[in-house]
A = this chain, B = another copy of it.
C-alpha cells in the first residue's frame, strides 16, 4: 500500500469528492458560461514542491485524467443516487457528464522551487479539476519522498500508519456516539492508502458511527454512502460573477443558498458559513432557513466558539439546537474530535468531516495544498474566512468585501448570537 506504484493516480472520474457533482449540477443548470480560473497554492512554504515533483510526472498524471470518461457502471451509480425517492442528478446533467465533460487544459509552469498550476475555462467543466489535481500533487510528492528510502524505512512508515489508524479506531470504539465522515481525498497519502483506511473503518465501525466517505469511487467500491456538503467556491464565484455593485455581491449569497435548497432539499442542507465570515451568515440566514436547513459546517477559527454561537443563533430564533447539526471540518484530529463531541453533547448534534489527519497520518509531514477559484468573468475573487490567515483575494478586494459583508476582525467571538 505504501511504495511506488506505476498505475495512474486517478483512474476514475468518480475518484473525487461527492460535492463536486452536487455543486457541478447546480452550476450546470443555473450558472452556465461563467469563465473561471482556479489556482493551486502550496501553503506549506518550507516544502519546495518544484524541487521534489518532476514536471513530466505531473504532466503525465494530469494528462491521464483528461483521457478518462465515466463508464456505464459509474453512470448508473450516479443515476441511482436519490433525494427522497427522486433522482438526485437530473438526466440532462447526467448526459452532460457522460458525453460532454471534457476537462479543460491545465496551465503548468515550473520555476525552480515552485510551480504554478492553473485551470481556466467554463466553470461547469473546470469545477472537477480541484480534487484530481490535489490528489495527484500529494501522491507524487509522497512517491518522491519514498523513492529515497529503504524498504525497511518504507515498512516503518506503513507500520506507523497502521498503528495510528488502530489508535483512532480504538478511541472511536470507546466513543461510539461520535459520528464522522472521511473527507480526506484531496490530501491523502495515496489512493491505495485512502482505500485501505476507508475499508478498515467500514469493517471496524458500524455505519451509525462511520457514516461514509466524500470519495464517490470509494463509496461505490465499498458500498458506503457518498457524502458531502458544498464548498466556498459556490459563494466566491457567484459573488464575482454577479458583481455589478455591492448590493449584487451581497445578493449572490442568498442566491447560492436558495439554489442549493431547491436542488437538494433537507437531505443536503448543511450550510458552509464562513466564506465571508460566519457572522454575516448568522445575520442573513432567515428564521425560516434556520428551521428547515439541517445544519451548518464549521471550517475555520475556533470550533468551540463557533458552536456556542450557533447554539445562540438557533435559540434566538426559538429553534431547539438539539434538532440541528454542526459538521466540523477544519483540520481535525482525534483528540479535538472527542473534546468537541463531549463539549456539545446533548446541546447540538455534531458530526466530523475528517480529512488530512485521517488519510495521511503515517508519520510523514502532511502538506497544506489548496486549489481555489481566483477569478470569475474577469473579476478577482474573495474569501474572507473566520480565520484571516485563510483569506483569499487582493488586499483591495478583501477590504471591499469586508465592507460589503460587514466583516470585523475580532468581532467574531463577541458576536451577540
Contact = CB atoms under 8 A, between A and B. Distances in A.
Interface in A64-78: 71-78
A79 interface: yes
Given A72-B225, A73-B223, A225-B72, A79 B78 contact: no
A208 to B, nearest CB: 14
Instruction: For the complex of A and B, list the 3 residue pairs with the smallest distance between their C-beta atoms, beginning with the closest.
Output: A76-B80, A71-B223, A80-B80
Q: Most B CB atoms within 10 A — which of A79, A80, A221?
A: A80
A133 interface: no
Contacts of A224: 72-73
Contacts of A75: 80
A219 to B, nearest CB: 7
**Residue among A81, A85, A87, A224 with most chain B CB within 10 A:** A85
* Residue among A72, A82, A91 with most chain B CB within 10 A: A72
Interface string A81-99: 1100101000100000000
Nearest to A220: B73
Contact of A74 (B72, B81, B219, B223): B223
B85 A81 contact: no
Contacts of A76: 76-77, 80-81, 220
Interface in A212-236: 219-225
Contacts of A91: 85
Contacts of A74: 223
19 contacts: A71-B223, A72-B219, A72-B223, A72-B224, A73-B219, A73-B220, A73-B221, A73-B222, A73-B223, A73-B224, A75-B80, A76-B80, A76-B220, A77-B77, A78-B80, A79-B79, A79-B80, A79-B82, A87-B87
A111 to B, nearest CB: 40
Contact of A77 (B73, B221, B222): B73
A39 to B, nearest CB: 34
Given A73-B224, A87-B87, 5 more contacts: A72-B219, A72-B224, A72-B225, A73-B77, A78-B80
A261 B224 CA distance: 35
Contacts of A82: 79
Contacts of A85: 91
A15 to B, nearest CB: 14
A120 B353 CA distance: 48
Contacts of A223: 71-74
A293 to B, nearest CB: 25
Contacts of A219: 72-73
Contacts of A225: 72
A84 to B, nearest CB: 10
A87 B86 CA distance: 10
